[in-house]
C-alpha cells in the first residue's frame, strides 16, 4: 500500500546537493517501508483549518479581493504602529517599502519592492504571522487589500482602485525576482585547491580592526546600538 | 561559622586569581604546581576548617529539579538589545566560554523565536501530514512515541551566527560572536516513517514543515533531506524538549541552518514545488556584493572558534602551562582536523580533538602549550571530512562582499594582551 519514495529529479537549485540526494535515495530504497498503523485520517475540515500556505504558482490562495484604498485604512489601523504609515518601519521593525537600488550599497534596504522575489510570500506571511500578536485573524479581503497597498507604496501598481484578487494575483511580478540565484558554495579554497599552510605563512601580522573601538557589547543593562541585524 | 571566616572565603573567591596569587605568594601560599619555591606559609583553604566540612549540608529534595551551583549564576544565556525590535522575535546566546565537552545543557541552548515561545498543551498537540500523500494523517504525541525511535547528537546553528561580524570585529565576546549554536542529543522519530505512513505520491519533491506558534514558522525542505536524517524530536538530552526549544515536538534537520528546525511543529505539507516562504526569501537568503542573492543555502559550513581564552574568559594565570580549547563543527560531516595559531597565522599547530567525533555534531578541541606571558593572536582553523577548509574573513568577503548577514563561518581572531585580557580583533 505504501510506496517507496522515488528518486526525484533534482531542480537546478539543488544541483550542489545531487550527490547527497542519490545517497539518500539509495539508503531509503534499501529499507522497505512498512506501515505502523498509527495516526488517523485528517478530516476535510481539519485540513482546511490548518492549510494556510500560499505558493508562487497561486496554490493556496483563498477567494477574495481588495484594493489599495481599502488597504491603506486597514494598514493604518493594524500595521502602521510597527511598519509606519508608509511602510518606512518604526524603530527596528521591518521596512516594507522603498529601498530600490540599495542592494549593492553598504546599507541594503530589503523590502517587498526592492528584494522579495514573489508576491505570494506576502500573502502567506501576512495571514500566518500578522498582525504581530494577533495572527491568523485577517479575512482574505483584508489581506488582498493590505497587499495592494504594499504594492502601491512600492510603485509596483499605481492605481489605488486596482482590485487585487485570487484571479489576478499570480500575474503581479516583483522587480527583484530575477536576482535570486542558486547556492554556489563552497566558494572558498578547499583541500582540493590547496593544503592549508602550517609554517611561515605570513611575514607581517598587524591588528586591523578591534571590537573595543565600537564598544557595542552588552554590559549590565546597556542598550547601545551596533551595526547589523540577525534576522 | 564565624563572620570573619566567612568573609575570608568570599574574598578569596571574588579576588581575581592573579591578585590572589600575588597575595598568596607574599603570604607564602601558592596554587601552581611546578613553582615549588615560595611555600613558606600554609593555605587557609586547607588549614581552616571549612563550613561545608563541619556542618551538615542540605538534604535530598531541596530542589526536586536540580539547579547549578550558586557560584555558577553568571553562566546564563545573554541577549543583545539593539539587534531586534522586540524580545518575542529575537535571539539570545549560548555562553560557549563557560562550557566544555560537546553537549550543551538544555537551559543554556540559545533561543530564537519569531513569535515568542508557544506554550503548547501536550494533550492538545497534533501533527498533521497533508498535501501530496495517499492519506492525510493526524498524529497525537502518544502516536509519535509508538514509532521506532532514533537518538542523534547534532549541532543546531543559526544561519546568522557571527552575522554581526561581516564588516569587522564588533561584539567583544565569544558568547555574542558565536553563541547561536548548541549541541544536543535528540530522541525522536525518523521523519521518513511518518511520511511513508501517509504514503508519498510519486510527484512529491518538497515538504513544508509549519510551526504552531504565533509566527506559524514555515520553510521548504527538499524531500531527499526529509527522507535522509530528519527527525521529529520530542526529547533533548534525555528529557522533554524545553518550551523555548519547541515543546512538545520539533523538526531536526542535521547540519542545516537552524531556522529550518521548525519548533512546536504542527503540520507537514508535501508538495511538488518549494513555497518560497518569508524565511527563505526575505530572510535567510544571502545578498552578494553584486546585488544577487543566493537562496536555499541550507548547509552550515565547517567552522571553529576558540572558546577559552576569549574576551569573557581572559587568561588569569601567569606564564606556564596553558590550555586553549574550542569547538569545531560542519554541516557536511565530521571534523578530522583543527589547527591553532598563536601568532595571527604565521605558524599553525595541530590541535587535539577529544571526545566523540560524530556526524554533524560539535567537536571539542584542545591545544596545550607553555605561554611565555607575551601577547598572542589566537585563531583556530577547522577542516571537515569533505576537505572543506574554514576560510578567513577576507576570503569570505572577497567571495561574497559584506552584506550577506548569513553563513559567516570565518576564522576568528582573539588578541590576548599583556595581563591576559582578550579582545575580538581582525588581523592582516
As given in the structure block, the three cell numbers for residue B199 are 504514503
My answer on whether B94 and B206 are in the same domain is yes
Q: B21 to chain A, minimum CA–CA distance in Å?
A: 27
Residues B268, B354, single domain; the answer is no
Let me know if residue B182 belongs to a domain. Answer: yes
| Cβ–Cβ contact A219 with B under 8 A | no
What's this model's pTM, rounded to 2 decimal places? 0.89
Which of B172, B347, B398 to substitute to test the interface with A, most A CBs within 10 Å? Answer: B172
Q: Using an 8 Å CB-CB cutoff, list chain B residues near A34.
A: 196
Distance from CA of B229 to the nearest CA of A (A): 9
Q: Which of A20, A117, A200 sits opposite B281 (nearest CB)?
A: A117
- Give phi and psi for B25, each to the nearest 5: -65, -40
Handedness of CA B191, B196, B200, B204 (dihedral sign): positive
Determine whether B33 is exposed, middle or buried from the number of CB atoms within 10 Å of its CB (0-12, 13-18, 19+): exposed
- Does the beta carbon of B359 lie under 8 angstroms from any beta carbon of chain A? no
Give the pLDDT band (50/70/90) at residue A228: low
**Nearest-CA distance A9 → chain B (Å):** 9
Across the 428 residues of chain B, what is the mean pLDDT of every consecutive 10-residue run?
41 42 42 52 96 96 95 96 90 98 98 98 98 98 98 98 95 97 98 98 98 98 98 98 98 98 98 98 98 98 98 96 98 98 98 98 98 97 98 98 97 97 97
The predicted pLDDT at position A127 comes to: 98
Q: Do B427 and A208 touch (CB under 8 A)?
A: yes
Give the residue among B153, B156, B178 at the shortest CA–CA distance from B78.
B178
Q: In sequence order, what DSSP letters do the residues of A108-173 get, joined into one string?
A: ----TTTT-S-THHHHHHHHHH-STTSTT---HHHHHHHHHHHHHHTTS---TT--EETTTGGG--
pLDDT exceeds 60 at position A126: yes
Q: Are the CB atoms for B335 and B328 separated by under 8 Å?
A: yes
Q: How close is the nearest chain B Cα to the Cα of A140, in Å?
A: 17
Contacts of B194 by beta carbon, 8 Å cutoff, 6+ apart = A39, B127, B129, B137, B139, B144, B147, B232, B268
What's the confidence (pLDDT) of residue B14? 42
Closest by CA position to A121, among listed B278, B229, B256: B278
Nearest CB to B294 within list A104, A181, A214: A181
Q: Please report whether residue B68 resides in a domain.
A: no
Taking only the tens place, the pLDDT of each residue in A161-195 is 999 999 999 999 999 999 999 999 999 999 999 99
What is each CA distance from B107 to B237, B241, B364, in whole angstroms? Answer: 11, 10, 20
A184: nearest CA partner in chain B:
B294
Is residue B412, in this structure, part of any structural domain at all?
Answer: yes
Fold of A55-179: Cytochrome Bc1 Complex; Chain D, domain 2 (1.10.760)
Question: Of the candidates A184, A31, A185, which has an alpha carbon nearest to the alpha carbon of residue B228?
Answer: A31
Residues B137 and B7 in one domain: no
Whether B120 is covered by a domain: the verdict is yes
| Residue B87 confidence (pLDDT) | 92
For chain A positions 3-22, those within 8 Å of chain B (CB to CB) are 3, 5-6, 8, 11, 13-14, 17, 20-21
CA distance B310 to chain A (A): 12
Q: Is residue B70 part of a domain?
A: no
Distance of residue B261 Cα from the nearest chain A Cα, in angstroms: 16
Which residues on chain B are in Cβ contact (under 8 Å) with A225? 82
Cα pseudo-dihedral A213, A219, A221, A226, rounded to 10: 30
Instruction: For residue B51, give the 3-state DSSP assignment.
Output: helix
Whole-number percent of chain A with pLDDT over 70: 80
Q: How far apart are CA A210 and CA B172, in angstroms?
A: 9
- Separation of alpha carbons B18 and B20, rounded Å: 5
- Nearest-Cα residue of chain A relative to residue B206: A8
- How far, rounded to the nearest angstrom, does the alpha carbon of residue B399 sit from its chain's CA centroid? 26
Tell me which of A28 and B266 has the higher pLDDT: B266
B199 & B256 share domain? yes
Last residue of a domain, one of B59, B88, B103: B59
Task: Residue B189: name the closest of B109, B259, B251 by CA.
Answer: B251
Whether chain B has a CB inside 8 Å of the CB on A76: the answer is no
Enumerate residues 245 to 264 of chain B having a beta carbon within 8 A of any beta carbon in chain A. Answer: none
Range of the structural domain that residue B180 is part of: 78-294
Structural contact between residues B257 and B134, judged by C-beta atoms closer than 8 angstroms: no
Residues in A closer than 8 angstroms to B214, CB to CB, are: 129, 133, 135
What's residue B40's pLDDT? 75
Total domains, chain B: 3
Residue B84 and residue B44 share a domain = no
Tell which residue, A185, A111, A115, A119, has the closest CA to residue B406.
A185
- Report chain A residues whose CB lies below 8 A from the CB of B294: 180-184
Asked whether the predicted pLDDT for residue A88 surpasses 50, the reply is: yes
- Position A218 scores a pLDDT of 78
B163 & B43 share domain: no
Q: Which residues lie across from B323 on neighbouring strands?
A: B368
Nearest CA among B146, B154, B280 for reference residue B209: B280
Would the CB atoms of B138 and A104 count as touching at under 8 Å?
no
Same domain, B247 and B380: no
Contacts of B402 in chain A (CB under 8 A): 106
**Are residues B202 and B120 located together in one domain of the fold?**
yes
C-alpha span between B50 and B355 (Å, rounded): 35
Cβ <8 Å between B224 and A8: yes
- The cell numbers describing A152, all together, are 502601491
Give the CA distances from residue B17 to residues B13, B21, B23, B245, in Å, rounded to whole numbers and listed in that order. 8, 6, 10, 37
Task: State yes or no: pLDDT of A142 exceeds 90.
Answer: yes
* Local structure of A41: helix, strand or coil: strand
- Residue B190, pLDDT score: 98
ipTM score for this prediction: 0.89
Q: Are residues B194 and B333 in the same domain?
A: no
Separation of first and last alpha carbons in chain B: 57
CB A36 within 8 A of CB B197: yes
**Spans of all domains in chain A:** 1-39, 55-179
Per-residue pLDDT, B130: 98
* pLDDT given for residue A78 in this prediction: 98
Measure in Å the smallest separation between the Cα of B97 and chain A Cα atoms. Answer: 15
Query: Residue A224 pLDDT more than 80?
Result: no
CA distances from A140 to A134, A165, B152 (A): 15, 9, 42
Asked if A117 and B276 come within 8 Å (Cβ–Cβ), the reply is: yes
The yes-or-no verdict on residue A22 having pLDDT over 80 is: no
Residues B273 and B327 in one domain: no
Q: For B237-372, where are the E strands, in sequence order? A: 239-240, 250-252, 265-271, 286-287, 293-294, 303-308, 320-329, 337-341, 349-350, 352-354, 363-371
* CATH number of the domain encompassing residue B418: 2.60.40.650
**Integer angstrom CA distances of residue B232 from A38, B142, B266, B387:** 15, 13, 11, 30
With beta carbons under 8 A apart, name residues in chain A contacting B160.
Answer: 230-231
Contact between residue B285 and residue B398 where contact means Cβ atoms under 8 Å apart:
no
Q: Which residues of B touch A35 (CB under 8 A)?
A: 196-197
B238 vs chain A: nearest CA distance in angstroms?
A: 24
Q: Lowest-confidence range among A77-91, A144-158, B22-36?
A: B22-36
Q: Which of B208, B275, B297 sits opposite A185 (nearest CB)?
A: B297
Amino acid at each position: 500500500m505504501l510506496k517507496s519514495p522515488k528518486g526525484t529529479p533534482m531542480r537546478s537549485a539543488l544541483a550542489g546537493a545531487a550527490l547527497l540526494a542519490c545517497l539518500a535515495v539509495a539508503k531509503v530504497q534499501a529499507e522497505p517501508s512498512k506501515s505502523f498503523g498509527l495516526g488517523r485520517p485528517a478530516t476535510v475540515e481539519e485540513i482546511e483549518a490548518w492549510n494556510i500556505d500560499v505558493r508562487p504558482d497561486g496554490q493556496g490562495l483563498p477567494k477574495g479581493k481588495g484594493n489599495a484604498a481599502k488597504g491603506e485604512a486597514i494598514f493604518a489601523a493594524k500595521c502602521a504602529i510597527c511598519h509606519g504609515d508608509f511602510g518606512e518601519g518604526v524603530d527596528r521593525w521591518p521596512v516594507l517599502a522603498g529601498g530600490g537600488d540599495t542592494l549593492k550599497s553598504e546599507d541594503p534596504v530589503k523590502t517587498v519592492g526592492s528584494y522579495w522575489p514573489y508576491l505570494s510570500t506576502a500573502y502567506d506571511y501576512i495571514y500566518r504571522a500578522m498582525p504581530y500578536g494577533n495572527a491568523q485573524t485577517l479575512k482574505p479581503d483584508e489581506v488582498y487589500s493590505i497587499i495592494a497597498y504594499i504594492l502601491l507604496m512600492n510603485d509596483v501598481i499605481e492605481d489605488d482602485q486596482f482590485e487585487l484578487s485570487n484571479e489576478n494575483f499570480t500575474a503581479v511580478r516583483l522587480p527583484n525576482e530575477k536576482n535570486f540565484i542558486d547556492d554556489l558554495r563552497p566558494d572558498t579554497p578547499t583541500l582540493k585547491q590547496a593544503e592549508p599552510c602550517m609554517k611561515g605563512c605570513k611575514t607581517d601580522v598587524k591588528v586591523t580592526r578591534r571590537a573595543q573601538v565600537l564598544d557595542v557589547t552588552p554590559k549590565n543593562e546597556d542598550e547601545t546600538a551596533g551595526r547589523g541585524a540577525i534576522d | 561559622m564565624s563572620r570573619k571566616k566567612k568573609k575570608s572565603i568570599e574574598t578569596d573567591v571574588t579576588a581575581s586569581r592573579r591578585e590572589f596569587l600575588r597575595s598568596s605568594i607574599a603570604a607564602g601560599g601558592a596554587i601552581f604546581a611546578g613553582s615549588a619555591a615560595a611555600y613558606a606559609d600554609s593555605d587557609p583553604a586547607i588549614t581552616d576548617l571549612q563550613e561545608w566540612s563541619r556542618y551538615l549540608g542540605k538534604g535530598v529534595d531541596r530542589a526536586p529539579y536540580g539547579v547549578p551551583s550558586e557560584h555558577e549564576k553568571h553562566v546564563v544565556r545573554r541577549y543583545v538589545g539593539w539587534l531586534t525590535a522586540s524580545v518575542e522575535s529575537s535571539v539570545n546566546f549560548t555562553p560557549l566560554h563557560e562550557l566544555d565537552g560537546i553537549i550543551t545543557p538544555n537551559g543554556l541552548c540559545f533561543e530564537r523565536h519569531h513569535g515568542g515561545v508557544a506554550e503548547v498543551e501536550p494533550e492538545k498537540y497534533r501533527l498533521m501530514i497533508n498535501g501530496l500523500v495517499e492519506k492525510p494523517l493526524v498524529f497525537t504525541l502518544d502516536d509519535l512515541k509508538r514509532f521506532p525511535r532514533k537518538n542523534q547528537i547534532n549541532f543546531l546553528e543559526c544561519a546568522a551566527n557571527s552575522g554581526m561580524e561581516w564588516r569587522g570585529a564588533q561584539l567583544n565576546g565569544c558568547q555574542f560572536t558565536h553563541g547561536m549554536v548548541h549541541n544536543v542529543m535528540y530522541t525522536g522519530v525518523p521523519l521518513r516513517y511518518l511520511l511513508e505512513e501517509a504514503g508519498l505520491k510519486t510527484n512529491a519533491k518538497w515538504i513544508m514543515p509549519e510551526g504552531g506558534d504565533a509566527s506559524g514558522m514555515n520553510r521548504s525542505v527538499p524531500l531527499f533531506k526529509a527522507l535522509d536524517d530528519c527527525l521529529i524530536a520530542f526529547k533533548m538530552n534525555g528529557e522533554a524538549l524545553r518550551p523555548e526549544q519547541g515543546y512538545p515536538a520539533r523538526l531536526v534537520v542535521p547540519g542545516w541552518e537552524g531556522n529550518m528546525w521548525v519548533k512546536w511543529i504542527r503540520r507537514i505539507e508535501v508538495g511538488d514545488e518549494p513555497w518560497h516562504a518569508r524565511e527563505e526569501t526575505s530572510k535567510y537568503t544571502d545578498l552578494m556584493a553584486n546585488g544577487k542573492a543566493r537562496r536555499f543555502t541550507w548547509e552550515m559550513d565547517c567552522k571553529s572558534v576558540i572558546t577559552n581564552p576569549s574576551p569573557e574568559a581572559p587568561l588569569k594565570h601567569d606564564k606556564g602551562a596553558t590550555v586553549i580549547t574550542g569547538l569545531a563543527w560542519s554541516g557536511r560531516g565530521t571534523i578530522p582536523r583543527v589547527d591553532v595559531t598563536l601568532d595571527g597565522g604565521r605558524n599553525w599547530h595541530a590541535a587535539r580533538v577529544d571526545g566523540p567525533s560524530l556526524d554533524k555534531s560539535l567537536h571539542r578541541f584542545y591545544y596545550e602549550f607553555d605561554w611565555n606571558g607575551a601577547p598572542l593572536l589566537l585563531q583556530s582553523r577547522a577542516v571537515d571530512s569533505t576537505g572543506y577548509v574554514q576560510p578567513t574573513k577576507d576570503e569570505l568577503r572577497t567571495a561574497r562582499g559584506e552584506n550577506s548577514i548569513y553563513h559567516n563561518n570565518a576564522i576568528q581572531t582573539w588578541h590576548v594582551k599583556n595581563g591576559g585580557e582578550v579582545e575580538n580583533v581582525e588581523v592582516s
